[in-house]
Every structure is written in C-alpha cells, then in structure tokens.
Copies of this chain bind each other. A is one copy, B any other.
Amino acid sequence: MSKTNKKNIGVPTIGVFDSGFGGLTVLRALLKQMPHARYAFLGDTARLPYGSKSRRTIAKYAAESAQFLVHEQGTEYLVIACNTASALALDAIQEAVPVPVLGVIEPGAQAARAASKTGDVLVIATDATVQSHAYSNACRVLGLHGIERACPLLVPLVEEGWIADSPGHSVTAEVTSQVIRIYLDQLQADAKAENLHPDTLVLGCTHYPLLRPLIEKVLIQSGPSGIRVIDSAEATAAEAARLFTLQNNPQRCHPERSRFSGGAKDLLLTEAESDFIPNIRCFATDSVEKFERLGSRFLGCPTGPVELVDLGG
C-alpha cells in the first residue's frame, strides 16, 4: 500500500488518527475525495477504547498520537477520525502540534444543518462522546437542537461482523437490527417527551457507517419517519477537501493555514487511473493482527501491512 505514483511527488501527507481502526471509514471517505494524497493512519489500539475513559486521559493519549503523526511521519495536516478524541481532545491536539487539525464533530453538525428542515437532530455515539455533549453543543451553535444517546453495543456488534443482512447471516443481523431498534425507540421517546420532531440522524462514531444499511432499514420499518442519515465520516472528508481548496485561494483562507502547493482538485483520480493503488501507511500501537484482519472491512480494501509503534503506556 505504500507504492508511490507520479502524482505523489509534492502532494501533502495527511495524518489520520483514531483510537482504533474505525477511523478507517474516514480514510475511506478521504480517499474518495482526495485519492492522490499520501496518508499516514495511526490507530492507538493499545489504549482503546477511548470512549470509556476520562477527558484527561483521552487528551494525553490523543496528543501523543498526533505528535507521532506530525513529528515522526511528517504529516502536514491532521484529521481526527475519532469522535471521542474530537469531542474531548481537539484543543489539546491543536496545542500539541503545529499543523491544521480537523475533527469529525463540526463537519457532522454542519451536514446535519444542511439536511434538517425541522432543526431537530438525533445523534448516536459512544458514552464519552455523548457525555461530552460535543454534538449538541455544535448543533446549538448552528441553531439546531441535538438529542444524543450513547449506544455502546454498536461498536462490538460491528467488530463481531454481525452486520451483513444476507441469507447466511440473517440471525446475527437481526440481533443488530433489534439493538438498533431499541436504541432508536428510546431516542425517539426522548424527542417526543421534549416535543421535538427530528428529521435527521447523525452517526457520531466512525464504526457506525458499516451499520448504515441496517439503520436505514430499521428507520423504514418503523414507519414513514422521513429521517435522513448523516455520516460524519463523509461529512469530514468533504470538509477536508474543501479546506484544501480554500487553502490555495489566498482571498478566502487564513494565511497561517496555507501550507499546501496543490488543492483537492489536483488530488482527484483521472479516468485513465483505474489501476490506482492508494498511498497509505498504517500504524498501530498494538493488536496489529486484529487491525489487519478487521481493518479492510472499514477501509473497503486491504490495509496492507500494519506497522507497530510504541507510544509508551
């Protein structure tokens, strides 16, 4: 996966960070937007999950991970592909490294604003993300009302692979659908109790894009809710590409963020490049085997060999 190609010379290296490998769904979305960029992905797997840890601990781990990507891998731009770290440690990361940092919360909230007509938005995420109220705060700034709920069973269900709604897997996918149904029913009951009328559901965890087909099916089965699903991973990749373009338009961008010589449009694939191999290096702090085994499910193609790094702890 680390083969270079003619377009890689002079293009930026984008660092993508997650506590695990769920953030590979963000890398997958970034590859669609900017396939010709170089990518260094770090999963801090020795210390996952961040979702159940305190703000102080998450900030320390995330800052160390960001420093590895910037100082040791030379990344010039950082995407925090982890809702928990974006919610609890974005400031700490920005203080720890001298490059632009983009989290997943704000792009997700922005996409919800673009999609919602009622202004009432449901958010599902991990415990720590919900406890931080990062999504409801980001919604409030944009004039939306966010109703959040922690769904701690969804990550292990994705990692068990109980997500394929195909004949051989219908029993396990039915369990996952039932779990989704219970969580969404509780969320809708919360909304009803506050007399809100949500029309948008934000997937506030990087594991959840793999559940999108089941979630959309459950929403349809529950009746004509008209609820639209927003994927923070896609919203973040689109925002990253937009910033690249902005950064190369001196009239529209902040001078200290103009670090790149090419905009996102220079990173797109041409029609002649159907045999294109993305330029990705993956690093993990532990569980290289599990990362390689499960990572391709999230990335949508093989991760290639994953390199073990030691960040202490």
Contact = CB atoms under 8 A, between A and B. Distances in A.
Interface string A156-171: 1101101000000001
| Number of this chain's copies in the complex | 2
Contacts of A182: 171-172, 175
Interface stretch (A47-55, A230-238, A241-249, A261-269): A47-55
Interface string A169-193: 0011001001100100000000000
A178 B47 CA distance: 30
A182 B38 CA distance: 42
Interface residues of A toward B: which range? 20 to 34
Contact of A54 (B152, B159, B287): B287
Contact of A287 (B46, B53, B152, B312): B53
A19 to B, nearest CB: 12
**Chief secondary structure at chain A's binding surface:** helix
A51 to B, nearest CB: 11
A151 to B, nearest CB: 9
Contacts of A156: 152-153, 155-156
Contact of A47 (B159, B160, B287, B313): B313
Contacts of A152: 156, 159-160
B179 A286 contact: no
Contact of A286 (B57, B286, B287, B312): B57
A52 B175 contact: no
A156 B52 CA distance: 11
A290 interface: yes
Interface in A133-163: 152-153, 155-157, 159-160, 162
A57 B172 CA distance: 32
Interface string A33-67: 00000000000011111001110010000000000
A290 B51 CA distance: 12
Contacts of A313: 47, 312-313
A287 B57 CA distance: 10
Contacts of A47: 47, 313
Interface in A59-114: none
Contact of A53 (B57, B160, B175, B286): B286
21 contacts: A45-B52, A45-B53, A46-B53, A46-B57, A47-B313, A48-B52, A49-B49, A52-B287, A57-B286, A152-B159, A153-B156, A153-B157, A153-B160, A153-B162, A155-B156, A172-B182, A175-B175, A175-B182, A312-B312, A312-B313, A313-B313
Given A53-B286, A54-B287, 18 more contacts: A45-B52, A46-B57, A47-B313, A49-B49, A52-B287, A53-B287, A54-B286, A152-B159, A153-B157, A153-B160, A153-B162, A155-B156, A156-B156, A172-B182, A175-B175, A175-B178, A178-B178, A313-B313
